[in-house]
Chains A and B, each alone.
Chain A
Amino acid sequence: MNGEEMTAWWFVLPSFALLMIFVFYPMLQAFIISFQNYNLVGGTRSFVGLDNYRMLMTDQSFLASLRHSFYFAVIVIPIQTSISLGMALLIQKKVATTGLFRTIYFIPVVVSTAVAATVFKLIYNKEYGLLNNFLELVHLPTTNFLSNPDTAMNGVIMLGMWKAVGFFMIIFLAGLNNIPTDLYEAARVDGASKLQQFFRITLPLLNRTTAFVVIITTIDAIKISGLVFVLTNGGPNGATETAVFYIYQMAFKQMQMGYGTAAAFILFAIVLVISLVQMRLFRNQDY
């Protein structure tokens, strides 16, 4: 090995060691543990084959947690993607005010999950919460979103979108800035309306960006946990237990490491399949 090669290896070594120890080795371990009955407290560890996976398939609370995660994803993907694209379009033109609006729209992204969830707990409060206060003002029915199992997930969704739209707005903004302006000029000369320009130029050319946004939103939605921990702690009546919340409960509350890890693997498989399918879908209609 020559000098350059030696140096290169020394430069890569620290991160490579971290990659092996904290990513690939745990991944391998996770695979093994998912076939075990592993209880950390009792110190027992035995091979059970596919039992964990088989049990998970009929475990009602696990299936319910997956449903909650999917519900979150199905609601959030179209709404959040359209809002963030809309925001990006609103502030696309570079004038002094748009910079200010961009900063304001982005602030919720910076506020930490625990703080946002804590403040929203109070905003959702039936008697003196800001949201119900507003609903009352416009003569809509008020409700404590979080204590009703039917609406609690919607409360989580609203907070989730409040916190995330700014992030995706920035990604759309970057995508919009990559569209050559002469395309619009040509369209204008040809007499295309704003609406036609949007559907014929903007949307098709944003395809890659939209694909990225949808895939990341899906993955985030299915892995949602932090907001749930602080906002509802899975309640009321398990209505907001999501898949990652369930994994945490199993592995670290009930100390069923094997069972929890098998659930995590199922989640991983789902996320992987969904993102592969989405990538394929979006690629097929490439322009």
Chain B
Amino acid sequence: MSRIASFFKYTIMIILAIVSIIPIFWMISGASRPYAELFKYSNSFNIHLFVPVHPTLQNFKDVIFNERNPFLTYIGNTLFVASIVTVLVLLINAMSAFAFAKLRFRGKGVVFALFMSAMIIPGEVTLVPNYLLMHNFGWLDSYKALIIPSMLSVFGIFLLRQFFAEVPDEILEAAKIDGASMPRTFLRIVLPAAVPPMITLGLMTFLGNWDSYLWPLIVINDDKKQMIQVAIAAFSSSQGTDWSKILAASTISTVPILIIFLFLQRYYIQGITMSGVKG
């Protein structure tokens, strides 16, 4: 490629990178400024638009130790729910995926088709009946409403089935001859062989739950039990002008997720690729 073309290409790449990252960078830098400084440099393009003059952790302290908006509690709630959901999603859907990939039973084709057909049913259509179901079960305002309906992942079954199908039948036969029960074979042989797709599905589930907004908004009313996304949204509309604290709260809820992503991005991207290429 000619030099000019290459220069042009890298310029575009860098502009795109700046556009992608600046809002986040600016959020973090804004969160580390005293309020008086936040808009002081906003009408000029000098270095201090992005680099705090007097960096401070006060906003983070204010947000974390605020009695009315205990952000650590929201993060704790969300971590709790997202972790439990992730573990259960992995277990329950791996079991089904294993049965669909490796076991013979009557009606398998029909049942699998039922699962796959659920992919076209959007959650928005079943929002009201599912809410009524939670109401009738008495699960409103409890984490059961967030955890139990989220345990099913049809995409997860689809994803894991592909991987389980590749485990050679001979290994399963050998385990059977050695007297291992089917659940034992599943736990000891099949699951360990599928660690990468399990991480993929686990990460997607965890991030999906971390991001969930509408469902918690509907089923959780008790402030102390709320999830982080709903809390952030409510906080930013109630605080209105106190942008330093809003940015601090947003930063606190974003940085842990970014770190997890940076370490495990390979798996997350693999999951997205799977959904596109085989979909």
Interface residues of chain A, those whose CB is within 8 Å of chain B, are: 3-5, 7-9, 11-12, 14-16, 18-19, 21-27, 29-30, 33, 40, 87, 90-91, 101, 103-108, 110-123, 127-130, 133, 136-137, 162, 166-167, 170-171, 173-175, 178, 209, 212-213, 219, 223, 225-226, 229-230, 233, 244, 247-248, 251-252, 257, 260-261, 264-265, 267-268, 271-272
Contacts and interface: CB of A to CB of B under 8 A. Distances in A.
Contacts of A114: 211, 213, 228-230, 232-233
A170 B272 contact: yes
Interface residues of B, number: 91
Interface in B99-121: 99-100, 103-106, 108, 111, 114-115, 118, 120-121
B122 to A, nearest CB: 6
Contact of B17 (A18, A105, A123): A105
B105 A104 contact: no
11 contacts: A4-B104, A5-B103, A12-B99, A19-B114, A104-B20, A107-B21, A111-B257, A130-B23, A171-B273, A244-B124, A265-B125
B239 to A, nearest CB: 10
A22 B130 contact: yes
A11 B273 contact: no
Given A11-B99, A162-B19, A268-B122, A19 B250 contact: no
User: By DSSP majority rule, is chain B's interface helix, strand, loop, or mixed?
Assistant: helix
Given A8-B103, A268-B122, A87 B16 contact: yes
B102 to A, nearest CB: 9
A27 B132 contact: no
Interface string B106-149: 10100100110010111011111111110100000000000011
A122 B38 CA distance: 11
A213 B276 contact: yes
Interface string B168-194: 000000000000001100100000000
A116 B45 CA distance: 23
Given A110-B258, A137-B45, A212-B279, A27 B125 contact: yes
A130 to B, nearest CB: 6
Contacts of B24: 107-108, 111, 119
Contacts of A130: 22-23, 26, 42
A120 B104 CA distance: 52
Most chain A CB atoms below 10 A, which of B13, B45, B210, B276? B276
A279 to B, nearest CB: 11
A119 B248 CA distance: 11
A108 B126 CA distance: 29
Interface string B222-235: 00000011101100
Contact of B127 (A3, A122, A166, A264): A264
Q: Which 10 A-B pairs have the closest CB atoms?
A: A171-B276, A128-B42, A26-B129, A29-B129, A26-B126, A8-B103, A18-B152, A8-B105, A11-B99, A114-B229
B163 interface: no
A148 B225 CA distance: 36
B199 interface: no
B250 A118 contact: yes
A4 B27 CA distance: 55
A123 B23 CA distance: 8
A11 B125 contact: no
B129 A261 contact: yes
Contact of A120 (B23, B132, B254): B23
A140 B87 CA distance: 51
A271 to B, nearest CB: 7
Contacts of A120: 23
Interface string B14-49: 001101111110110010000000010011010001
B98 interface: yes
B248 to A, nearest CB: 11
A21 B253 CA distance: 32
B51 interface: no
Contacts of B229: 112-115
Interface in B224-279: 228-230, 232-233, 236-237, 243, 246-247, 250, 253-254, 257-258, 261-262, 265, 268-269, 272-273, 275-277, 279
B93 interface: yes
B214 A226 contact: yes
Contacts of B16: 87, 90, 101, 105
B42 to A, nearest CB: 4
B201 interface: no
Nearest to A7: B182
A136 to B, nearest CB: 8
Given A22-B149, A114-B233, A272-B120, A107 B20 contact: yes
